[in-house]
Homo-oligomer: A and B are copies of this chain.
Amino acid sequence: MISRSDCLARDAADTLAPLREQFDLPAGVIYLDGNSLGARPKAALTRATEVIAKEWGKDLITSWNSAGWFEMPKRLGDRLAPLVGAKPGEVVVTDTTSINLFKALAAALHAQSHTGRKVIVTERSNFPTDIYMAQGLTSWLDRGYQVKLVDSPEQLQTAINADTAVVMLTHVNYRTGYQHDMAATSALAHQHGALAVWDLAHSAGAVPLDLHADGADFAVGCTYKYLNGGPGSPAFIWVPERNQDKFSHPLSGWWGHANPFAMAPDFAPTKGIGRALCGTQPVTSLAMVECGLDVFAQTSMQAVRTKSLALTDLFIALVEQRCPNHPLGLVTPREHARRGSQVSFTHPYGYAVMQALIARGVIGDYREPEIMRFGFTPLYTSFADVWDAVEILKQILDDKAYDITAARGAVT
């Protein structure tokens, strides 16, 4: 049996534990929702103040050059690159995940246009905006493209075939925490002549990634979850050097032009990753992304992953040890290789139980149907946090201290 003392001992031995001091976390809260909105690096307020008071307020327009605003999407992309196995000059931080996915999908279809392949394969359980963007792109192109939805990872084996133009998957599922085998699935796509587009929303900063080795063709991701960039901070897009010359997409704005200040009337894409840019970026929100990356620079994704698996293993074990007689169903894979950095349990009153947890300071979230989702971010979550969260869950369940009549609102 695991005890709270065991958890405290593990915290004492945890080399990542000191990083928690770099985050602002409210007292009395166990925050298990960093997979939705990462906690605030303390440095973010300092950085934002510098941008607003000095760079904007004092230096005004000159900051586009003197403060490096123009170069920030590329500079931050280069800083993010090592976390996903990308090379310098392959990532930009810009726009939203949805918009970046649109660019990547469009470029992938463009690269396949000579093949006559018409099908984008993805999962019905993918985060909906990914499916919606694929639907939006293909229905507008109106050339017989289809979005084919599979109902399980296993179905990919038969769904991917000679008609497949693109396999578009979210690497770690937002509800279940299931992690695809990127190398095997990319290889499967390539074997059938398809391209592999990966959404890393729940992977970047959560699990080690090696996009080159794992055969990804394009990827996008989010900076406001595990990367702690701040609410709605701009997303990222990865285009490997080998695919940059053929990276063509319809969102051809001036930031992607070879010479934006020549003000030429015809679009000519710049060389390199810059052609994934479109318009002017929200500088203050963008600048804060660096504060999250600064924390990652003090450790390694391997260290983060080791602790992440220890935290999620512990959470699963403690829930099963301490809440054995409650109707909780583990949704997240037990197999390490198939698990992201979250644990999801179903409960018939999952929504009400999560509301009760939040009221007692354990912040997770809820996703239809019946899924309570707990995200574990090794940079600021302790083993004692896991113990305490499970203890509160146990009390709520034992006491039936949740309101089963609670109306389901917009739980994020």
Contacts and interface: CB of A to CB of B under 8 A. Distances in A.
Nearest to A262: B368
Given A132-B253, A365-B61, A232 B266 contact: no
Interface string A31-61: 1010011011000110011011101111111
Copies of this chain, tallied across the complex: 2
B280 A224 contact: yes
Interface stretch (A12-20, A64-72, A182-190, A338-346): A64-72
A261 B128 CA distance: 9
Nearest to A253: B98
A52 B40 contact: yes
Interface string A85-126: 000000000011111001000100000000000000000100
A302 interface: no
A278 interface: yes
Nearest to A46: B52
The 3 closest A-B pairs by CB, nearest first: A96-B279, A282-B285, A98-B279
26 contacts: A26-B58, A33-B60, A39-B60, A40-B53, A44-B56, A62-B358, A69-B231, A70-B410, A124-B265, A127-B254, A128-B264, A129-B253, A131-B267, A132-B254, A133-B253, A135-B266, A135-B267, A140-B141, A230-B282, A231-B282, A232-B286, A234-B282, A261-B410, A261-B411, A282-B282, A284-B285
Given A60-B363, A129-B253, A231-B282, 14 more contacts: A26-B58, A36-B61, A37-B60, A45-B49, A45-B52, A52-B288, A55-B231, A133-B251, A142-B143, A175-B263, A232-B283, A233-B282, A284-B284, A284-B288
